[in-house]
Chain A
C-alpha cells in the first residue's frame, strides 16, 4: 500500500512542476518582434528553416573555421540582430564605382572594404580618393515575399521617363548574372540583363547571390559560389557548403513578413491617409503581390512592404558618389518600410535609418529625402504639428 503521505508528496510534485512552467518568461508578442517563420510551413520546410536558422544565427566564424583573414563581421546575426536592421558597428563600406560602367577595384580589394582582421593580419585600407559609401545592413524579414514578386509587376511600376509627369520616375536595376545564379521562371530579361531587386542599390538579383556575397565579402568565407578569397584574391577550397548557403537562403525566404500594429488606432488611420495624401505612396507602394512559389505561404499572396523595388534619384544630399550595378550614384532602391517601428529593437534601442544610418529619428529620415522625394518632403514640411505627429505614429506602427 502506497503511504498517503508519499502520495501527497508525489502529487504535490506534479502540481509544483506544472505550476513552475507558468513562472517561466513568456514569449514577446509576435507583432512586436521581427523574427519568426512564416505560418503554414510544412514539416519538411520547417526542418530546412531551422537548419537555416542555425546557419544564420548560431554559426560563429573564427580563424579556425575560415573567418577572414580580413572581414567585417563574424556571424550573420552580427549585422542582422533579431533578423532586423544593422548597427553602425557593422556598417559595410563599399567603394570603387561611380557610374554604371562597373567597379574599377574588383580584384584590387573592391567592392567592399574588410575593415577588420584576425590577429597577425592587417585589415584592408580604403584606397585614397576612391568613391565610397557606408551601408547599414537591412532587415531580412519578409524577403521571401519580395523575392516572389514577378518581374512583370516590377516593370509595370517602372516609369523611367516619368511619362505620367508626376515627378517620380522609378528605374529598373539590371545586371548580368554570375553563372551560379539561376534566373526565376518568370524572369523578363531586358536586353540580356536581369532585373535585380535586393540591396540598397538593387544590385543583387536574388538571395543566393546576396548570401554567397555576404559570406565572402562580410566574413571572408569562401564557397563554391564565391571561391575567391577577398584578401589574397586567390581561389581556395570552400569553407562552407552549398547546402548551408541554400539553408540560409531558405531561412531568409521563410521569415514572416513584419506585422503592422495598432491599425485601428485613429492616429494611425489618419497618419496613413496623410502618408497617401503627401505622395509618399508613389514610391513606398503599400501593396505588392507574389507570383507562384513552391512555398505555399508565399504563393500568390498580397503583402504590404511599402516599396516599389525601383531605383529613384534621391538628390545630392544622399549622393555619396558611389554606386552599384546599373544605378546612378544618386539613385537608391526604395526601402521597404514594413517593420520600420521595430527597427530600433535590433539597433540597440536607437534608430539608424537611411542607407548609412545617419538619421536617428524617423522624422530626420523624412527630411533627408531629396530629388524625387523633394515634393513629398515639402508637403511634409507644410503639415501642421498634429498632422506630422500622426504621420510619424503611422510609420512607427508599420
Chain B
C-alpha cells in the first residue's frame, strides 16, 4: 500500500512540476570531465549527469534500463521476455559550500522493489577528510558503488558482484573518506561503520551461503539485526596513465547471538575481501575492468554443508571500441565489441563424508556489441552462455540466449 501511495504522490509532484515549470528551462549538467583523470570508483555516486533548473541548488537525474531476452536452460525456455529492470532517480543538493546531499531511489522490475540505495550527506573539511552519513553504499569491490546501467556494456550485472557480494548493498551508517593527489598518483580511502548482515546469509531460498539474502530484511534501515557494526574499508590507488587498483574489506558479526541479553549462540563472523582494477590500454583504447572477491563465513560445523564457509569469484570485462564517429546522425557515437568472463565458486570445500570436492560453481561468457550514441546512453546486444554445476558436481545446467536492451541516463 505504501508504495502505491508513494507512487501517486510522486506522480502528483511530477505533474504539478510540469504544470508550473517550462521544462525547456532545465539545463543538463553533463558529467564534469575536466577532471576525468581524477575520478575513481568512489566518485561514481556523484559522477553522473544531472538536470538543474536555473540557479536552484537542487539537481535531479536518473537512469533507466530495459531489455528483451530469450534465454533457455537445457532446452527449456521462459520464452520471450520484455523486462523493465530498473528506473533510478537521483536528487542532489548543495546545502552549503562543502555540504552536499544526494539520494538515489531505485524501482526494480517495475515496482516489485523500491529501494533507497543512497541518501547521504557529505561534509567536506579538506580533500583528505570528508564525513558521510546516512544510507550509503559500502565500498566493497568497485561494482557496488559504480553500478549504474549506462556505464556497462552488459545487460546482466556481474554474478559475483550481485549474488556473491550483495550489490547493490546499502546500509545506514557513517564514515570518512578522502583523497590525496601526488603527481600522476591519487590515493584514496574510505572507512564506514554501518548496520550489517543477519542470519539469512545461511538460511535463505538460494540454498547456499548468500550475503545478498540479508536485503530481504526490511528492518535493516531501522535497526541493526544484532547490535554489531559492519566494518567496511577500502584503499584505492590511481595512476592517471595506468589505471586504478582498489583493495577492500567488509566484515563483522552477522548472526543474532543474543535475545533480551541472553546468549543463544556464539558470535559468528563474516569477512569479505575484494580487489578491483580498471585500466584503458594505450593505442587500442581497450578497456579492462576486473573484480575478484572472497567471502569467508563462520558457518556452524553442525549445519548443512550446503551452506559453504568460503566463496570466491569475480569477473573481467574487456571492452574494445571499434568505431568512434558520426553514425546514424549521432555525433561521436561509439560502437564497441565487448566480452565478460565470470566465475563464482559458491562453496569452496570438500565433503566430510567422502572427501570429494563440493562443486557448486557457475561460470559464464558474455560476448556483446554495444552502440553508444552518446556517453550517457548505451544500446547493447549480449549473448549469454553459462554453466551452473550443483553441489555434487553433476552434469551442469547450461543456459544460453540473447539479450537486447538499452540503458540511459536522463
Contact = CB atoms under 8 A, between A and B. Distances in A.
A78 interface: yes
B392 to A, nearest CB: 4
Contact of A27 (B76, B385, B393): B76
Given A60-B207, A348-B392, A119 B398 contact: no
A314 B151 CA distance: 67
> In the complex, which of the residues A16, A21, A64, A119 has the most CB atoms of chain B within 10 Å of its own CB atom?
A119
A89 B400 contact: no
Contacts of B391: 81, 89
A74 B399 contact: no
B303 A118 contact: yes
Contacts of B77: 21, 24
A119 B353 contact: no
Interface in B335-362: 351-354, 356, 359
Interface stretch (B19-27, B36-44, B66-74, B241-249): B66-74
B72 A119 contact: no
Contacts of B400: 23-25
B207 A75 contact: yes
A235 B392 CA distance: 35
Interface stretch (B128-136, B157-165, B197-205): B197-205
Contact of A25 (B74, B80, B303): B74
Contacts of A117: 300, 302-303
A61 to B, nearest CB: 9
B376 interface: no
B305 A89 contact: yes
Contacts of B261: none
Interface string B57-73: 00000000000001111
Interface string B370-383: 00000000000001
Contacts of A118: 203, 303
B268 interface: yes
Interface in A42-69: 60, 62-64, 67
Contacts of A234: none
B395 interface: yes
A348 B204 CA distance: 24
A116 B354 CA distance: 17
A329 interface: no
Interface in B387-401: 390-395, 398-401
A interface SS class: loop
A62 B209 CA distance: 12
Contacts of A27: 74-76
A83 B70 CA distance: 27
Nearest to B206: A60
A17 B385 CA distance: 16
A120 B265 contact: yes
A375 B70 CA distance: 57
A20 B401 contact: yes
A211 interface: no
Interface in A84-122: 87-89, 91, 116-120, 122
B264 interface: yes
A87 B77 CA distance: 29
A352 to B, nearest CB: 8
A26 interface: yes
Interface in A163-212: none
A53 to B, nearest CB: 12
B51 to A, nearest CB: 31
A349 B70 contact: no
Contacts of A119: 199, 202, 255, 265, 268, 300, 303
Interface size class of A (residues with CB under 8 A): 35 or more
A238 interface: no
B306 interface: yes
Contacts of A345: 394-395
Nearest to B359: A348
Nearest to A58: B205
A129 interface: no
A89 B394 CA distance: 14
B392 A87 contact: yes
Contacts of B354: 87-89
A60 B356 contact: no
A264 to B, nearest CB: 25
A23 B304 contact: no
A316 interface: no
A346 B390 CA distance: 10
> In the complex, which of the residues A26, A87, A117 has the most CB atoms of chain B within 10 Å of its own CB atom?
A87
B392 A63 contact: no
A116 B306 CA distance: 11
A73 interface: yes
A88 B352 CA distance: 9
A28 interface: yes
A14 to B, nearest CB: 12
Contacts of B205: 60, 62
Nearest to B352: A89
Contacts of A123: 302
A140 to B, nearest CB: 15
Contacts of A25: 72-75, 385, 398-400
Given A17-B70, A91-B353, A348-B359, 13 more contacts: A17-B80, A17-B402, A23-B402, A24-B77, A24-B401, A25-B74, A60-B207, A73-B304, A78-B306, A87-B351, A116-B302, A119-B255, A348-B393
Q: Which 5 A-B pairs have the closest CB atoms?
A: A27-B75, A24-B72, A348-B392, A25-B398, A62-B203
Interface of B: 70-77, 80, 199, 202-205, 207, 255, 264-265, 268, 300, 302-306, 351-354, 356, 359, 383, 385, 390-395, 398-402
Interface of A: 16-17, 20-21, 23-28, 60, 62-64, 67, 71, 73-75, 78, 81-82, 87-89, 91, 116-120, 122-123, 345-350
7 contacts: A24-B71, A24-B77, A25-B398, A28-B395, A81-B394, A89-B352, A91-B353
